[in-house]
Structure formats: C-alpha cells, structure tokens
Amino acid sequence: MEFRAGSLRAPLAFREERQKLNIHNVGLSSGAPWSNQADLDDLSREVFGVLGMPLDALDLSAVLRRIDLAVDARVPFLLSTPNVNFLMMSRSDEEFRESLLMSDFCPVDGMPLVWIARLLGIPIRERVSGSDIFDALRSRGSLGRRLSVFLFGGAEGVAENLRHTLNVEEGGLACVGVLNPGFGSISEMSSDSILESINSSEAALLTVFLSAKKAQGWLLRNHDRLEVPFRAQFGATINWQAGSVKRAPRWVQRLGFEWLWRVKEEPYLWRRYWNDGLGLLSVVLTCVLPLAVRNLLNRLTEPGGILTIDRKDGQHSVVIKLSGPATSRHTQSAIDCFRSALEAQKTIVIDVSNIRMIDPRFFGLLLMVRKGSIRQGSNLEFVGATARIRKIFQLNGFEFLLDATSTRQIASSDNSEINNDEVFVHGTLGTVAL
C-alpha cells in the first residue's frame, strides 16, 4: 500500500492498517525498565568530537535501548550513522554537518572511523551500522515488542515489497505505511500533504531511504514538523532488507571491505568510494596522524593538572573561563557547570585562552553544550583562542566553533554588560592528576 502526497484517503488507510496489524499502542509500554527521561539528556551522552563530527561510544544494545526510550517517551529522536561518506560531506557542506551536530545519537557506521577512533585513544570498539540497527529491530518479535514503522523513499516498488515482508513475518517491525516522494527537492518533499501522510500513520519509527545528503537535509528541515518519535536515514538498507541487493558477509564487514562488496553489487558506486577514499587519505595524513603524535607527546610530557573553571554571570550572559587540561577526566565536573549555565538560558561565552590541551571527549561535551544552546534559542561563543588552541580546534575539525559569527556579536555585547551586580564563581573542578 503506497500513499502518495495529497492522498485524502491516507489517514483512514493508516488507521485501518494499524487495526489489522494490532499495533494500536505499540511502543508505549509504561513499564519499560529504561523509561527514564534523564537518559535522553545530551550532556550525559558518552559522545566524542572526532574530525568535526559527534560520535557516540555505545554498542548495538545501547542503541536499541535509546530507541525504545524515545518511542516510550514520544519525544523526537534523530539518529545519524556517520561513515566515511558522512565525514567527507560534513567537511564541505555546513548544512549536512549541522544535521549531525543536531542529531540525538551518532553511532559509528564505518570501520575506517572505528580504526581512527582507536588510533586516537577513543573507546569506540565496534561498528553499529544502520542496517544492523534495522536488522535488530526487525528480529525482536520474539521479545514481544513490535514497533510500527513508516518507510519513506527507496526505489519504485522496493518499499512496498519490504512492507509486505515485514507484515507477513510478524517480527519486531510492523509497517503502517510507505511513501515514495520521487526525485524532487527537499522543499518539494517537505509539503504539508507529505508530512500529514507520515504523521497520520502514528508510526513509532520513520526510516528514510534517500541519498545521505538529501535525507539528512530533509530530516533536519522537518525535525519540528514530524510527529513520529524516532527518525533516521538508513540509505541502502532498504535494498538489503527487501532482498533486491545482497549485503556483504559478516567476515567481509569485519575486515572493513564492505565497500568493495558494494562496488561488486552496484558498480556505479565506484566513483563515490574512490573520491571518499582519496579524501580520507588526506584527512588521515593532515589531521589524524598529527593528532595521534600530539596525543602521545601530551601523555609523555604533561606533568598532570586540574581543570579550573571561572564563571561570571551577567544580566544577559554567562562567561566561563577554562584553565588547564580540558580532558575526559574532568568532564563530569564540567558537565555540572555547563548544565547550570544552560539552565540560566543566557548567552554562554567560553574563554579558552588558558586551556593547555583538549581531547575528543571534551570536544564532544562542547558540542552538546552547543546543541543545548541552539535548542533553547540562546547563543554560544568561544573567545580567547590563541594560535596554539586554534590549531588544536583545526586538527580536530572544530575550527568552525571559533568562527561562529552568529554568536560572536551577541556575546561581545554581553561581555560589556557584566556589571557590579554580577555573580562571580571560582572553583577547581574535576581535581584529578593527569
């Protein structure tokens, strides 16, 4: 059953489909052991900033728990699965990068990124691909938890075939609707009729099968218009799930050669993998290897220290000055400070002039502060970056944080407004010897 934009019968057909599949309240069980709203707190995510992207260090079971939590709470949850193609596009396309930065979870889909993480000392041990996630959700029928899913995109007829397969097998997913938007622009795919067709299905999951760039842009643009709790771009997963293309064997995936298998199955992909491979080689030589050497030298030469945080509260801003090593050992205490600053709902100004070093875990925390600021409509500004600090940001792919002109103007005006009524807090946080 394929519903197209503008179909006035779609809402009724969706309700009939749900009744037939007996999934009226699927995914809304209040007794789920993980139904704790605190688990959705971005500041508590074990997220790392790697080459300009947020990467979450959790395994497949943890991903499934996060999905269930979002569905149970009926809160918007955007999942992105970064791979090498995502990395290269994020370095040249600001909107695409923003879709990753605003995602609620970013497990690593791509063995080269896992290898880079290991080289940089980041505890990401396994790949969690979109297809693995879809497979796991599909196979959970024996656990008594069946989630309703809406299939958006895919080649003509492929989503319809998958819908039939999912509903016949009575596994962990029940398809309540499909929609093929064709080859229009993101704007054309964001019409009221298309969004109404998706929302009226009352699905728990929205799986998008478009090109990565178009899918991420569409999900970002319509984040607040979509009512389906969990949404993600799964790309070519639909071809494997529908059986139209054969996926690489597990041993090929583990060796990191799934890309080569995909070229065998879909030869037109060779150009993409060639370009991405050349780009990745450049990133490894100019960023990853220098970072690995710098990290080794820091471990050998840094005498240890503490992270000191100075905070000043003005009428319209909170100024936070970081001094010392901004590393994973100090993130928990820094989280408490940043959480309090976000609760103030003012412009947050972070002075990095006295930072000695900053690691991927702390970059991940800064990305979550940025996301929280954007979500609540406030601003975030980084000031005081020396040439050495700017180089660290550049190698890690986060120089754009220092060049955020949209927040710099507001923050600079707020700095001048801090007066005699300000509150000054000075504390030594996360006192741990390195």
Domain coordinates of the chain in residue numbers? 10-259, 271-301, 307-429
Q: How far apart are CA 308 and CA 334, in angstroms?
A: 9
Q: What does the pLDDT read at residue 229?
A: 94
Q: What does the pLDDT read at residue 139?
A: 87
Q: How far apart are CA 303 and CA 322, in angstroms?
A: 18
Contact 81, 99 (CB under 8 A): no
The number of angstroms, rounded, from the C-alpha of 378 to the middle of its chain's C-alpha atoms is 21
Q: What does the pLDDT read at residue 40?
A: 54
Contact 88, 279 (CB under 8 A): yes
336 is written with which tokens? 């408490």
Q: What does the pLDDT read at residue 31?
A: 33
Q: What does the pLDDT read at residue 36?
A: 35
Q: Tell me the three state secondary structure of residue 417.
A: coil
In order along its 434 residues, the chain shows pLDDT tens digits of 333 333 333 444 444 544 454 443 333 333 333 333 334 588 989 999 999 999 999 889 999 999 999 999 988 999 999 999 999 999 999 999 999 999 999 999 989 999 999 999 999 988 898 889 998 998 886 666 789 999 998 877 888 888 898 888 878 999 999 999 888 899 999 999 999 999 999 999 999 988 899 999 999 999 999 999 999 998 877 766 766 677 778 888 788 888 787 888 788 878 888 999 999 999 999 999 999 998 888 777 765 678 899 999 988 899 999 999 898 888 888 999 999 999 988 999 999 999 988 999 999 999 999 999 998 888 999 999 999 999 999 999 999 999 864 344 333 443 443 333 333 333 333 332 22
Instruction: Give φ, ψ of 214 to 5 degrees.
Output: -70, -40
E strands in 99-146: none
Long-range contacts of 31-34 (CB under 8 A, 24+ apart): 32/68, 32/69, 32/72, 34/65, 34/68, 34/69, 34/72
Q: Among residues 147, 146, 179, which one has the least CA distance to residue 160?
A: 179
Rounded to a whole number of angstroms, the distance between the first and last alpha carbons of the chain is 60
Q: Among residues 403, 11, 5, 1, which one has the least CA distance to residue 200?
A: 11
Q: What does the pLDDT read at residue 191?
A: 93
Q: What does the pLDDT read at residue 418?
A: 36
Q: How far apart are CA 312 and CA 153, in angstroms?
A: 50
Contact 162, 238 (CB under 8 A): yes
Contact 309, 322 (CB under 8 A): yes
Sign of the dihedral through C-alpha 254, 270, 216, 17: negative
Q: What does the pLDDT read at residue 368?
A: 95
| Domain at 307-429: CATH architecture | 2-Layer Sandwich (3.30)
Q: How far apart are CA 271 and CA 407, in angstroms?
A: 39
Contact 130, 68 (CB under 8 A): no
Q: What share of the chain is helix, strand, coil (3-state, %, to 5)?
A: 50, 20, 35
Contact 266, 252 (CB under 8 A): no
Give the side-chain half-sphere CA count within 13 A for 348.
29
What DSSP string runs through 339-390? HHHHHTTSEEEEEEEEEEEE-HHHHHHHHHHHHHHHHTT--EEEE---HHHH
The number of angstroms, rounded, from the C-alpha of 336 to the middle of its chain's C-alpha atoms is 22
Listed in sequence order, the DSSP H helices in 286-359 are 289-301, 331-343
Beta-sheet strand order (sheet of 173-179)? 77-79, 230-233, 205-209, 147-153, 173-179
Q: What does the pLDDT read at residue 243?
A: 67
Q: What are the helix and strand counts (H, E) for the chain?
A: 19, 12
Q: What does the pLDDT read at residue 421?
A: 34
Q: Among residues 130, 385, 138, which one has the least CA distance to residue 234?
A: 130
Q: What does the pLDDT read at residue 26?
A: 39
Burial classification of residue 258, based on how many CB atoms lie within 10 Å of its CB (0-12 exposed, 13-18 middle, 19 or more buried): buried
- Residues found in the chain: 434
